[in-house]
Amino acid sequence: MTIEIAIILIPFIMAALIPLFYRRLQRKFIGWIVLVIPVSLFLILTTYIPRIANGEAFSHTYEWIPSFNINFTTYIDGLSLIFSLLITGVGSLVILYSIFYLSMKESLHHFYCYLLLFMGAMLGVVFSDNLMVLYAFWELTSVSSFLLIAFWHHRKASRAGARKSMTITVSGGLSMLLGFLMLYTMTGTFSIREILENVDKISEQALFIPALVLILLGAFTKSAQFPFHIWLPDAMEAPTPVSAYLHSATMVKAGIYLVARFTPVFGGEMIWFWAVTGVGLITLFWGSFNAVRQYDLKAILAYSTVSQLGLIMSLLGLGSVAVHLGYSTSSVIYTQATFAALFHLINHSTFKGALFMMVGIVDHEIGTRDIRRLGGLMSILPFTFTIALIGCFSMAGLPPFNGFLSKEMFFAATVKITKLDIYSIESIGILIPVIAWVASVLTFIYCVIIVSKTFLGKIKPDISEKNPHEAPVGMLISPFVLIGLVIIIFFFPNILGEYILRPAMASVYPTFPLAEMTPHIHPWHGFKPELFMTIGVILIGILLYRYKKYWMKIYRIFPQQWTLNAIYEKVITSSENMSESITKRYMTGNLMHYFVYIYVSFVVIVAGTFLVLEAFTWDPSSDAPVENYELLLVFVAIFASFALLFAKSRITAVLLNGVVGYAVAFFFVIFRAPDLALTQLVVESVTTALYLICFKYLAELKPEPSSRKTKLSNGLISILVGSTVTLIGLAVVNYEKFNSISSYFEDSYNLAGGKNIVNTILGDFRAFDTMLEVVVLFIAGLGVYTLIKLKASKKGDADT
């Protein structure tokens, strides 16, 4: 086992261990023990930085299901390293923060178990080279996110939010799976690196564009891109550390990862450029537009995250132009957009993580997140105010914070792209910088709202009554580390660029020379368009904020019933109603109906197979002669079955049923199958006993009040079932469509070490069947037990 595989597995192992040992621990230690994992993983991963910066990549393959081309291949290159550092780094800070954030009374073991599950799954996503393994981990992140959003599952909103995020991200994941399968059909491999080697061959194929669209759907749903972003604000019902970790720093960036990873495959297509850039820009605008009108601090941050994800996404779209153009000294400039995307990815995790933790502190200490009830907290929470101020300024793109650098690079990239004359950019390309600029103005406004409404102004009386105080030091450490990074990255951006971003560029543009793709990041680069855009953002932003009440009316233009959320609700409820009505139509609760379904499908499938394959063969010439006593047994069985139809009481019916069973057992004796005979006898006895025990619960046997038509159709079905079974019995002797496997059984002593064929079949040749049958039997037994006991306890409740 190599270190790479161990890195993925350790969180899972720990998640499995927590339920075992948490009872023996004092509750406050759980978090500290869990904290060891991400910190040590982070430290291990940092040792990769210099080696990966040298252009190395680490790969290890563990053969998992080689017959299906599914191997557990880990691959660490620059791109996955960025994400893994974020996952473990932010993960460490979030766990440290949640130790102080979560009350000791919460079910901490669940929380940390899910969190570790998520961490392992997310590391799996970024380290997997095999698409199927990547997909499995991808869905696992959705599942763990579902569990974490619904962590306070007694709240209705939490459950609804969890369900919504699950529905949207998993359906996106399924379409992505479809895209992966199409890639597999085209290339014959699930390995991303091998697909990359075959890019030229697949881009002409018919499935190429469908695969592109389906994979993008997966990325867009996961990264909350318009119009799938609606799950992210609802996911804010999760505890704040979870929001900071999953729903801003890591999981929602899985889609970004996927887009970056597949840029070398699909990046040369026009549809990729416009889909990624366009959806990204719309999301950027729509997120910031909606963030301005929110009152809940967390909702503002949620929409702001949506918007920032859109920003990163659009940058990746802009950067994909370089793949189309191919390497030349003039095209290399467009790779800077991707560089900015990766840079902003890291910056966003730092300032947004800090902001979420800030909101967590406000919520924790003040008891509300509603900006209409907050105000003037600057004097009460001075440290938290510092966090909010720096985080918001960075998000708004102001110096001297890291957001300024990446925002300027974003503006530069949008302006630069308008100079191109491919993809019909010359006609509508001017919209790109315009939308980017408008959205940035809105971003500036909600950043000001967060700071001013929460921390400036007068303290509301109901808050000052409670006499709140600053958060404990433990809760402040994590946001301050992030805020520290916000400033450090501003002053030393090129260290980050050199060691972490540049190797990742090699993963996105494998054919480009690495040395030319690393722009030197300057805070000051002369009077260029991006500088004027930033100045414009600040000036117009301040103006619009001052006169906010005059233009807030535009939010009322949109009709309520046509919001995306309303449409989503409509779709969900109508599909629920539809499936309910369909289910009710056939799940009647009448046992007779179910028998009809079972027997009709049996006849259709088996008799149909006989007909279609023309498989029925009957050759009585080699059969043994029929003896008289055998005829007698047959007669007994037939007579008992007929009599059963006319039995007036249950006892008679059961006994007659027993007669049929014992007659069959006699046949087994005659044909020298003692095992079967013995089993049949015991089973028959036990069933009869069981029937007799059950009788006292059953009502008197009454003639069925069914119509003539039902009786006829039931009679027909039973005759068909009987004939089908008889046909199978007759045909089975001479059946030649498949090779007989009985030669294995005849050699049972050598193959399975037993002389009794029946036993070797049960315990060896078909042991898999036996094992699963045992499990089914057990489940059935438990089912009977719970049904009866549950009913009994309900009755007990009613009595008391």
Instruction: List the structure tokens of 797.
Output: 């409740």
Binding of residue 475 to another protein (CB under 8 A) = no
Long-range Cβ contact pairs of 781-790 (< 8 A, separation 24 or more): none
Q: Is the dihedral of CA 433, 436, 439, 443 positive or negative?
A: negative
Considering only 550, 556, 755, 799, the residue that binds another protein (CB under 8 A) is 755
Binding of residue 758 to another protein (CB under 8 A) = yes
Site string for another protein, 126-145 (x = CB under 8 A): --------------------
Contact stretch for another protein (CB under 8 A) within 123-131, 212-220, 647-655, 752-760 = 752-760
Nearest one of 330, 285, 293, 347 to 310, comparing CA atoms: 285
Tell the smallest beta-carbon distance from residue 137 to another protein (Å). Answer: 23
Binding of residue 762 to another protein (CB under 8 A) = yes
Tell the smallest beta-carbon distance from residue 699 to another protein (Å). Answer: 16
Asked, as a colleague might, if the bond just before 241 is cis with ω within 30 of 0, I would say no
Tell the smallest beta-carbon distance from residue 438 to another protein (Å). Answer: 60
Tell the smallest beta-carbon distance from residue 172 to another protein (Å). Answer: 34
Binding of residue 55 to another protein (CB under 8 A) = no
Binding of residue 618 to another protein (CB under 8 A) = no
Residue 190 phi, psi (nearest 5): -100, -5
Binding of residue 763 to another protein (CB under 8 A) = yes
For another protein, give the closer residue by CB, 670 or 774: 774
Distance CA 458, CA 461 (A): 9
3-state secondary structure of 56: coil
Binding of residue 764 to another protein (CB under 8 A) = yes
CA dihedral of residues 76, 78, 83, 85 (deg, nearest 10)? 80
Residues 6+ apart with CB under 8 A from 732: none
How many residues would you count in the chain? 800
Tell the smallest beta-carbon distance from residue 665 to another protein (Å). Answer: 13
Residue 391 phi, psi (nearest 5): -60, -45
Contact stretch for another protein (CB under 8 A) within 67-75, 398-406, 721-729, 746-754 = 746-754
Nearest one of 344, 226, 243, 246 to 296, comparing CA atoms: 243
Residues numbered 662-691 forming contacts with another protein, rule: CB under 8 A: 674-675, 678-679, 682-683, 685-686, 689-690
Residues 6+ apart with CB under 8 A from 525: 408, 531
Binding of residue 605 to another protein (CB under 8 A) = no
Binding of residue 735 to another protein (CB under 8 A) = no
Scan for tokens 């929001």, then name that residue. Answer: 243
Q: How many residues bind another protein (CB under 8 A)?
A: 41
Contact stretch for another protein (CB under 8 A) within 172-180, 399-407, 651-659, 761-769 = 761-769
For another protein, give the closer residue by CB, 21 or 778: 778
Binding of residue 65 to another protein (CB under 8 A) = no
3-state secondary structure of 65: strand
3-state secondary structure of 76: strand
Considering only 434, 565, 781, 793, the residue that binds another protein (CB under 8 A) is 781
Considering only 376, 400, 529, 754, the residue that binds another protein (CB under 8 A) is 754
Binding of residue 768 to another protein (CB under 8 A) = yes
Instruction: List the structure tokens of 652.
Output: 């008679």
Distance CA 85, CA 783 (A): 47
Binding of residue 1 to another protein (CB under 8 A) = no
Contact stretch for another protein (CB under 8 A) within 98-106, 194-202, 388-396, 782-790 = 782-790
- DSSP string across 81-148: HHHHHHHHHHHHHHHHHHHHHS-TTS-HHHHHHHHHHHHHHHHHHHHB-BHHHHHHHHHHHHHHHHHH
Which residue ranges make up the site for another protein (CB under 8 A)? 674-675, 678-679, 682-683, 685-686, 689-690, 693-694, 697, 752-756, 758-760, 762-764, 767-768, 770-771, 774-775, 777-778, 780-782, 784-785, 788-789, 791-792
